[in-house]
């Protein structure tokens, strides 16, 4: 019969349809996990079929107050009915107030607002270049660390110390100098009168949750002063409450104040917002017309961030205690699972380094209803929402133990 020759149209499940559309129409730059998320509440996410996941990665450190936080939802609803965007041609009620708040918590006076981490990095790079140029056209060198990550724009990858991010895009910015983390001799050797700035993650994130030593940070500060270079801390992943302080550099005693700090991820709870916060010396390098952003610092993002900072003050003690409890429980697991080599981190920025690649464990975690990721091949990375409780940690550890019990090293 003729009708049997006509193929039946494929009936796709909603998940298959979504994945198929992405395969056909998106740039194929991401390797996604096979999970379609639909909604979230508190620390939990739900997929299209209603399956629940305890979220220990929070959109790579962005969903700081989890999902559907009542105060954040309320503020977003209110502001959506009032004013979403003004451009920076005009004033609105929230940008100055948020800048004042950032000055109070950072100890640095002036803020520039943008929309992402890498855009904040670009702002800081332009500040470094303008500062150097104001002294000498040869003062263009920027020191950063091997194994660092500073974003995906051309400027940011120029100073990112992992060749895999740079190799396809060369030539990049001239003058990048990479030194190994905590190697004070190499740091001293890298500085010269051509150094315009040094950029450091206080705790390397993508690089595997590696804190830098206080001695190394202090020497970087001294050398930056000696050579009149700007010291920039990239706190896009390790800052804004996550380490159990407003910023990771504030874990030093006495506090080691940089010239510039950049931040983004958790600040507006999922609404894009990045900041460059600078002292007067660094800020004075940028004159009217030298930098800008159409969307940066819009009323919605700034108002949400102000609400976030009010809530963060209340949450800070629990970030410290729940973070400590999380690390303690993970460390205890090292007895049963000897392939865990080390547990590192501060507050709710935590890494567990394994003896083998942990990538396949992320999929096992998804099966167990637990979201985390793997960075630097062997480090399981946990950046949970700040509202995580000790009961959530207990649940997470039970699920993680099941993942560890079932999972063999990838090659076994």
Ligand X SMILES: Cc1ncc(COP(=O)(O)O)c(C=O)c1O
Q: Shortest approach of ligand X to residue 394 CB, angstroms? A: 28
Of 375 and 378, nearer to ligand X (C-beta) is 375
Q: DSSP alpha helices (H): ranges in 3-93?
A: 14-25, 58-61, 70-80
Of 238 and 403, nearer to ligand X (C-beta) is 238
Do residues 117 and 296 make contact, with C-beta atoms less than 8 angstroms apart?
Answer: no
Nearest in space to 104 (alpha carbons), one of 306, 346, 264? 306
Site for ligand X (CB under 6 A): which residue of 151, 175, 351, 384? Answer: 151
Of 55 and 206, nearer to ligand X (C-beta) is 206
Of 234 and 353, nearer to ligand X (C-beta) is 234
Of 121 and 278, nearer to ligand X (C-beta) is 121
Q: Shortest approach of ligand X to residue 299 CB, angstroms? A: 21
**206 lies in the site for ligand X, by CB under 6 A:** yes
Task: State the Rg of the chain over Cα.
Answer: 23
Of 238 and 354, nearer to ligand X (C-beta) is 238
Residues that bind ligand X (rule: CB under 6 A) add up to a total of: 15
Tell me if residue 353 falls in helix, strand or coil: strand
What are the start-end ranges of the E strands in 225-288?
A: 230-234, 260-263, 274-278
Q: Shortest approach of ligand X to residue 84 CB, angstroms? A: 20
CA distances from 373 to 55, 228, 287, 304, 354 (A): 10, 39, 41, 27, 13
Q: Shortest approach of ligand X to residue 236 CB, angstroms? A: 4
Residues 73-132 that bind ligand X (CB under 6 A): 116-118, 121
Q: Shortest approach of ligand X to residue 148 CB, angstroms? A: 7
Of 206 and 368, nearer to ligand X (C-beta) is 206
Q: Which residue is nearest to ligand X (CB)?
A: 117
Token code pair at residue 313: 């003050």
Site for ligand X (CB under 6 A): which residue of 264, 277, 343, 354? Answer: 264
Site for ligand X (CB under 6 A): which residue of 125, 236, 343, 383? Answer: 236
Q: Shortest approach of ligand X to residue 142 CB, angstroms? A: 14
Q: Shortest approach of ligand X to residue 116 CB, angstroms? A: 4
Give 129's DSSP letter. H
Of 279 and 373, nearer to ligand X (C-beta) is 373
Of 209 and 403, nearer to ligand X (C-beta) is 209
For residue 46, the tally of other CB atoms under 10 A from its CB is: 15
Q: Shortest approach of ligand X to residue 269 CB, angstroms? A: 14
Q: Shortest approach of ligand X to residue 156 CB, angstroms? A: 7
Site for ligand X (CB under 6 A): which residue of 55, 201, 259, 307? Answer: 201
**237 lies in the site for ligand X, by CB under 6 A:** yes
Q: What is the DSSP string of 277-329?
A: EE-HHHHTTS-TTS---SSTT-HHHHHHHHHHHHHHHHHHHHHHHHHHHHHHH
Residues 130-149 that bind ligand X (CB under 6 A): 149
The per-residue b/e assignment along 69-99, b for 16 or more CB within 10 angstroms, e otherwise, is beebeebbeebeeeeeeeeeeeebebbeebb
Of 264 and 322, nearer to ligand X (C-beta) is 264
CA distances from 324 to 59, 241, 250, 328, 378 (A): 22, 14, 18, 6, 22
Token code pair at residue 18: 């979504």
Nearest in space to 188 (alpha carbons), one of 203, 198, 173, 174? 198
Window of 18-26, 48-56, 198-206, 357-365 that interacts with ligand X by CB under 6 A: 198-206
Q: CA-to-CA distance for 271 and 289, rounded, in angstroms?
A: 26
Q: CA-to-CA distance for 39 and 114, rounded, in angstroms?
A: 27
Q: Shortest approach of ligand X to residue 153 CB, angstroms? A: 8
Contact set with ligand X (CB under 6 A): 60, 116-118, 121, 149-151, 201, 205-206, 234, 236-237, 264
């Amino acid at each position: 019969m003729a009708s049997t020759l006509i193929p039946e149209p494929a009936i796709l499940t909603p998940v298959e349809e979504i994945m198929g559309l992405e395969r056909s129409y998106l740039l194929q730059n991401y390797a996604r996990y096979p999970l379609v998320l639909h909604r979230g509440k508190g620390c939990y996410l739900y997929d299209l079929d209603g399956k629940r996941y305890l979220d220990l990665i929070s959109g790579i450190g962005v969903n700081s107050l989890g999902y559907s936080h009542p105060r954040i939802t309320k503020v977003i609803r209110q502001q959506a009915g009032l004013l979403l965007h003004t451009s920076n041609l005009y004033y609105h009620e929230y940008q100055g107030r948020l800048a004042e708040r950032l000055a109070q918590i950072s100890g640095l006076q002036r803020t520039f607002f943008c929309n992402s981490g890498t855009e904040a990095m670009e702002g800081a790079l332009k500040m470094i270049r303008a500062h150097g140029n104001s002294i000498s056209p040869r003062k263009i060198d920027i020191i950063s660390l091997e194994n660092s990550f500073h974003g995906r724009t051309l400027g940011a990858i120029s100073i990112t110390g992992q060749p895999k991010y740079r190799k396809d895009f060369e030539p990049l910015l001239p003058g990048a100098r990479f030194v190994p983390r905590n190697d004070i001799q190499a740091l001293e050797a890298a500085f010269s009168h051509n150094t315009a700035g040094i950029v450091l993650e206080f705790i390397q994130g993508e690089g595997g949750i590696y804190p830098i030593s206080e001695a190394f940070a202090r020497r970087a500060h001294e050398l930056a002063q000696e050579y009149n270079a700007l010291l920039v801390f990239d706190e896009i992943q390790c800052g804004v409450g996550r380490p159990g302080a407003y910023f990771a550099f504030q874990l030093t005693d006495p506090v080691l104040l940089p010239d510039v700090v950049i931040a983004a991820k958790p600040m507006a709870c999922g609404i894009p917002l990045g900041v460059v916060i600078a002292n007067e010396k660094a800020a004075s390098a940028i004159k009217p017309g030298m930098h800008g952003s159409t969307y940066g610092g819009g009323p919605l993002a700034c108002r949400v961030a102000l609400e976030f900072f009010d809530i963060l003050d209340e949450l800070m003690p629990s970030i410290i205690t729940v973070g400590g409890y999380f690390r303690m429980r993970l460390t205890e697991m090292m007895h049963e699972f000897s392939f865990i080599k080390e547990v590192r981190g501060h507050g709710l920025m935590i890494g567990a380094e394994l003896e083998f690649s942990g990538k396949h464990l992320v999929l096992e975690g998804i099966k167990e209803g637990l979201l985390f990721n793997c960075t630097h091949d062997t480090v399981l990375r946990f950046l949970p929402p700040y509202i995580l409780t000790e009961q959530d940690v207990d649940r997470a550890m039970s699920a993680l133990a099941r993942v560890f019990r079932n999972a063999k090293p990838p090659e076994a």
